[in-house]
Structure 1
């Protein structure tokens, strides 16, 4: 039994589950869907850092977590916003992460795709040409590391573009340069307010038209699109307009079960931050779907949605705190410290509810360890248990 803060200044009693629900690693390769988990980074808690200084990464623990995801048959989406790109991890750290993770993927036979953006640019105004050159440098580094490219949405391009034409020009140049098909990333402004008006318009219908125009001009260079707008209807409408052979990877951490399951007109693959903590359950669910059992797939994955919606509640960009918190409770790392000090970005009641929701669905391979660590956090906050 543990007493948890209820958000109103009081405490409530919670009885953690005693049984272990977490599936074991291994199993047949995932067949019916391509599934990437966007992975977090593990900070070095003993490094003498500051919130605005370079990140200090615990490389051993960070790579061990990627091996954990690969052991379940998931792909790893590397150096994305889940890894705190632009929120604690700068380009120098991200580049090292790409190189190390891509080498690890080759060593274990894991699938990997890595984010290429423009975050090496200094703050301030930039021309579309300068943004293009920054993208090209990162694209070349990811390809040189042997990973698939995810073209991330760019804050610098959002600031520099004068309209849809600049997006068409920049992305067209990048797709012509790419050696292999890439994943295009559309991250909504709920994840990053600096991306408001991406694709040249705050009207999402107009933005979608420009996005599709980019793809239609280079369908052979687009493996798929990663859509993170938290709007299931908009994602479904978009995927029905994609050219044949171009995948839709859902990035909707609110509605992923229904989008992955799909309908009579199609389905979404997955590239999700919530699959960082949910990796084992996500793999189990997709293997059920591989047998044609859509109802069984939903039975496994639907109960996880309440946790995901909690972690990704507004302000959504701070979901990373809950992701790392759950990794600590689950025993994937020895501490709850984040690059940039982001462990302070969510309240104690928020974290307590995340613990409870995760425990209810059997997310923790060692429930007693998770309860002990939750209790130790309460001690740090001075909560009398």
Structure 2
């Protein structure tokens, strides 16, 4: 039996025994599984631990391991949502690195029939400030969209910190989104990222009230429905997501627009759906629980909804822990689990973000990952957990 001594609250150390076997691989006959939901995992980047840089300032990336992780996701049947907040966009990963990441991912996907990639385009190269105008925001969006489309990529239209700072009201959001959507080559996925993920996006769409903001957002979608594949809602509220999903389904112009859940607290029930519809998925947690996501979605596609819930229900406590407040630091847990599972050889992150969560937090993550059956090799995971604790002075 694999055991590891883990720190617990109150200054205690307790011996923890791994209880659960990892989930079996869902791959059949060497081919990725197929699903009846569109499912993207927002993928993280692997830092280069051998770079002689300033870790808080420079984004040095291990490109080989970063692309290998995307191949791992494609093998499991998942699409890749590239250069999103899970890749530390705006928290260590700048636009030049994001553009290179997008290029490399799209190149890697070309040799894999059916491999889904959608790419984040935003305005993060434009620093918010009092002199930034709405026209500046439009130009910044256009620059990134031109770059992504020039590489052959499909667009995820990311929320803009610069727009949130510059907008005087809802009419500025309407102006920006109408202009941008009128120019895109293919339908995009709009990303509504809540302030729990990024405080700089508070009041997005022109209102601090999410339901009032939803009215503005819905109006933009309805007015540009032929240019919108879907909207990803990341508000950690199933009620708000379902409200918008049902509203779109009942409106002729928006009935075909997809709802991509970004709710890392309630994804299982939102993906399963109800008699009035379901959500597809574009989730950061799918990076961390990719095998469980693949197995669960395979069972759902086979008509086994009970099996879908049996597989994903144990992952929800893990996800809620990884995404607990301050939610913006969830990337630390995602990368830590990749390290535990042997998907990268170190626990270093772009921007030094490996230090954004406590050892107590990481220890509880280990316990919950075991309960979710997403520790691919319990012996390896336990050994790596011990090494991280030792670096922290608890070994």
TM-score of the pair, normalised by structure 1: 0.97
Counterpart of 2:126 (choices 107, 121, 142) is: 121
The residue aligned with 1:10 is 12
Using the TM superposition, name which of 264-273 and 108-117 deviates more: 108-117
The residue aligned with 2:207 is 201
Counterpart of 1:150 (choices 147, 152, 156) is: 156
Q: Provide structure 1 residue ranges, at least 5 long, that are not aligned to the other structure.
A: none
Checking the alignment, whether the CA contact within 8 Å between 2:159 and 2:192 is kept in structure 1 is yes
Task: Name the CA distance, whole Å, in 1 between partners of 2:311 and 2:153.
Answer: 31
Checking the alignment, whether the CA contact within 8 Å between 1:115 and 1:150 is kept in structure 2 is yes
Task: Name the CA distance, whole Å, in 1 between partners of 2:26 and 2:333.
Answer: 23
SS in 1 for 2:180: helix
SS in 2 for 1:352: helix
The residue aligned with 1:349 is 360
Distance 1:291 1:21, change over 3 A: closer
Q: Deviations over 1:210-257 (max 9, x none)?
A: 000110111010000000000001100100111111000000000000
Using the TM superposition, name which of 15-24 and 129-138 deviates more: 15-24
The residue aligned with 2:251 is none
Checking the alignment, whether the CA contact within 8 Å between 2:189 and 2:230 is kept in structure 1 is yes
Structure 1 vs Structure 2 CA RMSD = 1.2
Shift of 1:382: 1.6
Task: Name the CA distance, whole Å, in 2 between partners of 1:179 and 1:29.
Answer: 29
1:13-32 alignment to 2 at 5 Å? 13-17=15-19, 19-26=21-28, 27=31, 29-32=33-36
The residue aligned with 1:310 is 321
The residue aligned with 1:74 is 78
Shift of 1:124: 2.3
Checking the alignment, whether the CA contact within 8 Å between 1:91 and 1:120 is kept in structure 2 is yes
Task: Name the CA distance, whole Å, in 1 between partners of 2:15 and 2:222.
Answer: 55
Using the TM superposition, name which of 256-265 and 7-16 deviates more: 7-16
The residue aligned with 1:227 is 233
Q: Does 1:383 align with 2:394?
A: yes
Task: Name the CA distance, whole Å, in 1 between partners of 2:20 and 2:98.
Answer: 39
Checking the alignment, whether the CA contact within 8 Å between 2:329 and 2:356 is kept in structure 1 is yes
Task: Name the CA distance, whole Å, in 2 between partners of 1:25 and 1:9.
Answer: 43
Q: Provide structure 2 residue ranges, at least 5 long, that are not aligned to the other structure.
A: 249-253
Shift of 1:107: 2.0
The residue aligned with 1:186 is 192
Distance 1:329 1:103, change over 3 A: same
1:1-385 alignment to 2 at 5 Å? 1-17=3-19, 19-26=21-28, 27=31, 29-109=33-113, 110-125=115-130, 126-242=132-248, 243-384=254-395
TM-score of the pair, normalised by structure 2: 0.95
Task: Name the CA distance, whole Å, in 2 between partners of 1:196 and 1:84.
Answer: 19
Checking the alignment, whether the CA contact within 8 Å between 2:181 and 2:224 is kept in structure 1 is yes
SS in 2 for 1:189: coil
Aligned pairs, number: 384
Q: Deviations over 1:287-317 (max 9, x none)?
A: 1111222222111111100000000000000
Task: Name the CA distance, whole Å, in 2 between partners of 1:122 and 1:265.
Answer: 42
